């Protein structure tokens, strides 16, 4: 007979857990026979004692198998099933371009994304700013759209990795969210339930990242690569910079509009383009759709230049319930914020640092982000024309342009922007966007 308390004691005392024990514990999380207090006790034991690689793989696979697992083999897709996941940040609109770009190169992308919370923006919130876009199609429609269009971006359904939802909710109120082992199991259980051939992780580092240091970001990336491959999915990871907003803006409708401009070639900021291309290239290589980085980048650039990627994004929006002419006329579908004003630099000099989390919280204060999961968003609000690290400014240079619903909202965002942007006398070097790429064969045992 399985007793959860004995399972918890084993991890508390640093004894090895068996795969069968892990599976029974996760089953108990799913069916309710394991209490919240027992989940939190186990999470705290893992927080202090970690999991071995085998235990981490076992926990991830058990959570993956706690609900429905998607299949694609019966559809006889003519290309690999690929996906990417980001640990989140500010102005991280990559998924909206990446999915159509990969589809234009022969991949199939069933992307299950989340909503934003706190300073991080959510892919689902950006797409929900599009009138009519339904992020929760039926499973059959989801599969059909992936097959016919090549990409579909939806929200997590209740039957995918249900054990993770309860486990995460308990961790969130018990101070155990930061465990690398549990973060890994949480991320991968949902992604692997989507039936992927390849997963590429984008692990952020810097002032707007979830992990506070490069060392911890890299450690998380390494663990995800090991566990993902151990669970049978070809997994690699990039550690990318989040010391400033990735896009030139932050806010839901604002970022979606920037994604459209990127796909059509109207505007492509250098750092957003570098990260998007690097992630896409890694996916094409891992999926066997490109021979090397040069080949991958050439294919991706062709997908952009030909208009194929933009066309696919438009088709995805239309098949998900959005406007059929969204790519051509996206501007008319986004209501502007009532108040749009710049925040000028208080002095001349160079941008020496950015509290990227602070900028994200400015968007949240405007109503464009959540403090609690149930908060209703104002899709109109956000920041545009964000200054870059190393940029020269003076009293006539906007640090950002605030899109606000009210005067009070503008003043709060203005205060946060001024606090978030550091100005000094000497220029600073702009950070590297892609710090490293981690693949299973490169990791030491």
Give the active site residues.
83-86, 123, 171, 186, 190-191
Residues 179, 73: contact at Cβ < 8 Å? no
Candidates 116, 99, 194; CA nearest to 151 is 99
- All residues at 6 or more sequence positions from 279 whose CB lies less than 8 Å from its CB, including other chains: 84, 94, 98, 200, 202, 238
Helix (H, G, I), strand (E, B) or coil at 363: helix
- What does 253-292 look like in DSSP terms, one character per residue? HHHHHHHHHHHHTS---HHHHHHHHHHHHHHHHHTTS-SS
Instruction: Say if CB 299 and CB 117 are below 8 A apart.
Output: no
Contact present, 337 and 249 (Cβ < 8 Å) = no
For residue 415, the surrounding DSSP H or E stretch is helix 407-420
Residue 161 CB burial class (10 angstroms; 0-12, 13-18, ≥19): buried
Coil vs helix vs strand at 401: strand
DSSP count for the chain of H helices, then E strands: 17, 12
Phi/psi for 196 (5° steps) reads -80, 150
């Amino acid at each position: 007979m399985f007793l959860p308390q004995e399972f918890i004691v084993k991890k508390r005392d640093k004894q090895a857990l068996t795969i069968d024990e892990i599976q029974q514990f996760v089953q108990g999380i799913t069916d309710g026979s394991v209490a919240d207090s027992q989940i939190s006790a186990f999470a705290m034991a893992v927080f202090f004692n970690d999991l071995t690689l085998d235990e981490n793989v076992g926990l991830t696979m058990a959570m993956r198998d706690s609900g429905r697992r998607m299949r694609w083999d019966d559809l006889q897709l003519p290309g690999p099933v690929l996906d990417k996941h980001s640990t989140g940040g500010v102005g991280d609109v990559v998924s909206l371009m990446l999915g159509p770009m990969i589809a234009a190169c022969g991949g199939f992308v069933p992307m299950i994304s989340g909503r934003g919370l706190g300073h991080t923006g959510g892919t689902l919130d950006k797409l929900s700013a599009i009138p009519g876009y339904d992020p929760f199609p039926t499973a059959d429609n989801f599969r059909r759209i992936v097959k016919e269009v090549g990409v579909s971006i939806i929200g997590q359904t209740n039957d995918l990795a249900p054990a993770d939802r309860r486990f995460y909710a308990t961790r969130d109120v018990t101070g155990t969210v930061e465990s690398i082992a549990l973060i890994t199991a949480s991320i991968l259980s949902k992604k692997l339930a989507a039936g992927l051939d390849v997963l590429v992780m984008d692990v952020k580092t810097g002032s707007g990242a979830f992990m506070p240091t490069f060392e911890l970001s890299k450690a998380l990336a390494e663990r995800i690569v090991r566990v993902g491959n151990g669970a049978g999915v070809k997994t690699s990871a990039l550690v990318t910079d989040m010391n400033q907003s990735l896009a030139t803006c932050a806010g839901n409708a604002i970022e979606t509009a920037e994604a459209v401009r990127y796909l059509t070639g109207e505007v492509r900021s250098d750092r957003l383009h570098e990260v998007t291309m690097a992630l896409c290239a890694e996916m094409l290589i891992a999926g066997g759709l490109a021979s090397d980085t040069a080949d991958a980048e050439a294919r991706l650039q062709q997908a952009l230049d030909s208009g194929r990627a933009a066309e696919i994004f438009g088709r995805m929006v239309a098949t998900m319930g959005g406007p059929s002419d969204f790519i051509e006329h996206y501007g008319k579908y986004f209501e502007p914020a009532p108040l749009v004003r710049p925040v000028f630099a208080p002095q001349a000099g160079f941008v020496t640092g950015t509290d990227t989390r602070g900028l994200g919280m400015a968007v949240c204060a405007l109503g464009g982000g959540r403090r609690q999961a149930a908060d209703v968003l104002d899709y109109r609000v956000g920041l545009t024309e964000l200054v870059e690290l190393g940029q020269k400014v003076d009293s006539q240079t906007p640090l950002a342009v605030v899109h606000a619903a009210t005067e009070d909202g503008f003043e709060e965002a203005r205060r946060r922007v001024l606090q978030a942007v550091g100005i000094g006398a000497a220029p600073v070097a702009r950070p590297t966007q892609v710090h490293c790429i981690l693949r299973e064969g490169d990791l030491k045992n």
